[in-house]
Amino acid sequence: MTKQEELYGAVRKIAWGYILIHVHINLGTLDVLPDWLGYYFMYAALPILTQEEETAKLLRPLGLGLTIWNGIDWVLKLVGAGIGGVGYLLSMVVSVVALYFHFQLLTNLAGIAERYGCPESGRLIQLRNVRTVLATIAAVMLYWIEANSMDGALVIVLAISQLVIVVWLCSVLFALSKSLLDEEVLGDEGEYPDEDQEAADGADAEKTVDGYDGEADDTEE
């Protein structure tokens, strides 16, 4: 399997992870599209991303922690239990961690897209910024709704914003996964990615040395 095929699979895992996180189908207290599974998909994709973006390795403990936390929350909701006051404070901390996790994840994906000359790089940066702002607003609005026991129009606004986010995000990610297979390793302007450039320079150096060796042998003869 080539490097680009591995990236193709990793990006698609992340896209499906976002679908699981943002889309909820409940059967009673059972969420059949659990958030913890979405975070697990993202966590599983991080080793491949780390090969291209070293900073992605910092997300691995966060991805595992978010998977475990959302798994616990999923089980508690399934059995009808609450997280209590301490759990509520922890959930606020987790929200901040998740905000950073997604910001850095999309930054790394944009970096990979740029390295391989994929056109989705700029859109991922825009999406990262918009998603961060909307996620922050949503967190504040949810706290205000719970504190004031309100619902209605604000809940509808949150639901619509979530729908827009997941459609936009996943369309860009699936397009990126396809671009990674369609694009050549060379960028749009014929420039090598850093690692490939180093390999090419090494190959050129070896050819040069071999050329000199051949000339020396001819001279001795």
| Whole-number pLDDT of residue 116 | 92
C-alpha angle 125-130-132 in degrees, rounded to nearest 5: 95
Report the alpha-carbon distance of residue 65 to residue 59 in Å, rounded. Answer: 10
Does 131 score more than 70 pLDDT? yes
| Dihedral sign of CA atoms 37, 124, 183, 7 in order | negative
Burial of residue 52 (number of CB atoms within 10 Å: 0-12, 13-18, 19+)? buried
Q: Which of 16-20, 167-171, 184-188 has the lowest mean pLDDT?
A: 184-188
Report the alpha-carbon distance of residue 124 to residue 111 in Å, rounded. Answer: 9
User: What mean pLDDT value characterizes the chain?
Assistant: 81
- Report which residue type is found at 149: S
Does 136 score more than 60 pLDDT? yes
Give the pair of three-digit tokens for residue 83.
Answer: 């997280």
How crowded is the C-beta side of 74, counted as CA atoms within 13 Å?
Answer: 22
| Whole-number pLDDT of residue 201 | 53
| Whole-number pLDDT of residue 139 | 76
Q: Which of 36-45, 139-148, 155-164 has the lowest mean pLDDT?
A: 139-148
Does 25 score more than 50 pLDDT? yes
Please report where in the chains the tokens 């978010």 appear, as a residue.
66
Of all helices (H) and strands (E), which one includes residue 27? strand 26-27
Q: How confident is the model at residue 193 (pLDDT cuts 50, 70, 90)?
A: very low
Q: Over the stretch 175-188, which tens digit does the pLDDT of each residue have?
A: 999 999 885 544 44
Question: CA 165: distance to chain centroid?
Answer: 14
Pairing of strands 26-27, 30-31: antiparallel
Residue 53, by phi and psi: left (phi above 0), alpha (psi -120 to 50) or beta? beta
Contact 141, 182 (CB under 8 A): no
Q: Over the stretch 53-112, which tens digit does the pLDDT of each residue have?
A: 999 999 999 999 999 999 998 999 898 876 665 667 788 889 899 999 999 999 999 999
Report the alpha-carbon distance of residue 153 to residue 192 in Å, rounded. Answer: 51
Does 22 score more than 50 pLDDT? yes
Report the alpha-carbon distance of residue 40 to residue 44 in Å, rounded. Answer: 6
Please report where in the chains the tokens 């001279």 appear, as a residue.
219
Does 191 score more than 60 pLDDT? no
